[in-house]
């Protein structure tokens, strides 16, 4: 058990890698009255194709990560949800693009019983052909719900217009064809590869003595056997730089029209720290230009160029990069002209030192505030590990933002590859 201290954040955490490879983190918060424990794997909907160091290729149907998450709670021997409920413990799970996490929260001073249960049910995968077939209509119904949700739908339609090969083209649930293609064997193979202890991380944010947590996990893991660990990397086919479809219009039941402009950015080969620096520089610069921090923002609203629903986001990862702009109740052509004009001005702007300092302080304040919430600590810690940086390093990157750095990073962007998605009332 190794202790780590961040003197700036005044936070302590402990880490130990079990003999089977399971990485265990205990973020000790002695003044907290509740515990949050997350058991996670860096396996999400984008990871349906993977390769190992020997060049072996593994491919699974779209949506299998989400399907697998559903089936983790299944057991012929016990009702996992009922057992957690009897303990007065809240338990849940979720699948994102890049990870699957199971977690529980409890105010109990002794968390040994729910912790053992979490470890046992996640590491005791057991399904039947019948149960797999029974689950398919449930997940298809969930998928249909997402397709009727304009927030989910506009993202999916934008991604399918932007990307030809990248798995972000598919919903996290997959599609009806891929869901029906999932079998007991494919689930078991996927589980064996991606839920091995050597690939997973257990994060406990808790007031409980860390030594007790580590002792419990050691004892729990000692009685279990696993197949040899196979390191895996996500595989994505080569992606063209241009978007696949420049404009798309979808009719569905809506109270008002929704619009998204997606900008597909070239993926740049760079270190994790360089990528995170670029990400934060673009985010900070966009906040300076496209939010109420900009004095022009209120004029845009008053002139009807944008609505109060206007929003934006950016994402820079190892295999995809993009910027997205959203609005509602605005004419598509008007929105295109507005974004075109503002992107040009944004790339040629110079954000003032005062504005950068303001945004940097706000971002750091938000990050520090997260340290008061157990679930946020666990989530951010795991996300940083997936990005191959530490929470401390991410804080240093945020602190490094300057007007010169922001200007450099936004001027490097190629903003020419764009797509327009319109959701219209049918």
Does 241 map to a domain? no
CATH number at residue 10: 3.30.830.10
Read off φ and ψ for residue 163, nearest 5 degrees: -115, 140
Secondary structure of residue 43 in the 3-state scheme: coil
Q: What whole-number distance in Å separates Cα of residue 143 and Cα of residue 145?
A: 5
Domain of 126?
2-234
Q: What is the mean pLDDT of the chain?
A: 94
Do both 271 and 217 map to the same domain?
Answer: no
CA nearest 198: which of 222, 226, 224, 229?
229
Q: What whole-number distance in Å separates Cα of residue 2 and Cα of residue 17?
A: 10
Chain segment 192-247, per-residue pLDDT in tens: 999 999 999 999 999 999 999 999 999 999 989 999 999 999 998 899 999 999 99
Mean pLDDT of 114-131: 93
Q: Which helix (H) or strand (E) holds 391?
A: helix 391-399
Q: Which of 183, 211, 234 is the last residue of a domain?
A: 234
Chain segment 136-190, per-residue pLDDT in tens: 999 999 999 988 999 999 999 999 999 999 999 999 999 999 999 999 999 999 9
Which are the catalytic amino acids? 69
Do both 177 and 291 map to the same domain?
Answer: no
pLDDT of residue 97: 95
Q: Which of 174, 202, 234 is the last residue of a domain?
A: 234
Chain segment 352-391, per-residue pLDDT in tens: 999 999 999 999 999 889 899 999 999 999 999 999 998 8
pLDDT of residue 74: 80
Q: What whole-number distance in Å separates Cα of residue 210 and Cα of residue 402?
A: 39
Q: Which of 175, 204, 234 is the last residue of a domain?
A: 234
Q: How many domains does the chain have?
A: 2
Does 240 map to a domain? no
Q: Report which of residues 269 and 310 the model is more confident about.
A: 310
| Pair type for strands 247-252 and 418-425 | parallel
Do both 64 and 196 map to the same domain?
Answer: yes
Does 242 map to a domain? no
Chain segment 8-60, per-residue pLDDT in tens: 778 889 999 999 999 999 999 999 999 999 999 999 999 999 999 999 999 99
């Amino acid at each position: 058990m190794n202790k780590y201290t961040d003197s700036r954040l005044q936070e302590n955490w402990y880490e130990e890698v079990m003999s089977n490879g399971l990485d265990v983190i205990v973020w000790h918060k002695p003044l907290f009255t509740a515990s949050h424990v997350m058991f996670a794997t860096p396996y999400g909907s984008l990871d349906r194709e993977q390769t190992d160091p020997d060049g072996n290729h593994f491919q699974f149907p779209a949506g299998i990560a989400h399907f697998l998450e559903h089936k983790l709670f299944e057991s012929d021997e016990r009702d996992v949800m009922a057992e957690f409920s009897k303990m007065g413990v809240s338990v849940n799970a979720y699948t994102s693009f890049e990870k699957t996490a199971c977690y529980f929260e409890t105010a109990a001073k002794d968390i040994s019983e729910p912790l053992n249960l979490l470890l046992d049910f996640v590491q005791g995968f057991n399904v039947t052909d019948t149960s797999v077939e029974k689950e398919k209509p449930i997940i298809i119904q969930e998928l249909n719900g997402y397709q009727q949700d304009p927030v989910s739908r506009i993202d999916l339609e934008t991604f399918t217009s932007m990307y030809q090969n990248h798995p972000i083209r598919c919903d996290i649930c997959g599609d009806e064809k891929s869901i029906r293609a999932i079998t007991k064997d494919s689930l078991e193979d996927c589980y064996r590869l991606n839920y091995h202890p050597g690939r997973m991380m257990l994060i406990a944010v808790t007031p409980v003595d860390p030594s007790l947590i580590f002792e419990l996990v050691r004892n729990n893991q000692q009685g279990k056997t696993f197949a040899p660990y196979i390191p895996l990397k996500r595989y994505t086919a080569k992606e063209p730089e241009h978007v696949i479809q420049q404009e798309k219009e979808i009719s569905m039941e809506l109270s008002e029209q929704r619009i998204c402009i997606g900008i597909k950015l070239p993926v740049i080969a760079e270190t994790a720290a360089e990528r995170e620096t670029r990400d934060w520089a673009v985010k900070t610069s966009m906040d300076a230009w496209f939010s109420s921090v900009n004095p022009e923002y209120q004029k845009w609203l008053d002139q009807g160029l944008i609505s109060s629903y206007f929003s934006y986001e950016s994402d820079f990862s190892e295999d995809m990069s993009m910027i997205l702009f959203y609005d509602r109740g605005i004419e598509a052509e008007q929105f295109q002209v507005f974004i075109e004009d503002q992107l040009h001005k944004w790339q040629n702007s110079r954000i003032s030192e005062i504005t950068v300092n303001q945004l940097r302080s706000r971002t750091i304040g938000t990050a520090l505030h997260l340290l008061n919430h157990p679930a946020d600590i666990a989530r951010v810690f795991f996300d940083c590990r997936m990005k191959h940086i530490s929470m401390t390093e991410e804080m240093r990157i945020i602190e490094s933002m300057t007007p010169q750095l922001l200007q450099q990073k936004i001027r490097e962007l190629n903003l020419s590859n764009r797509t327009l998605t319109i959701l219209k009332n049918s």
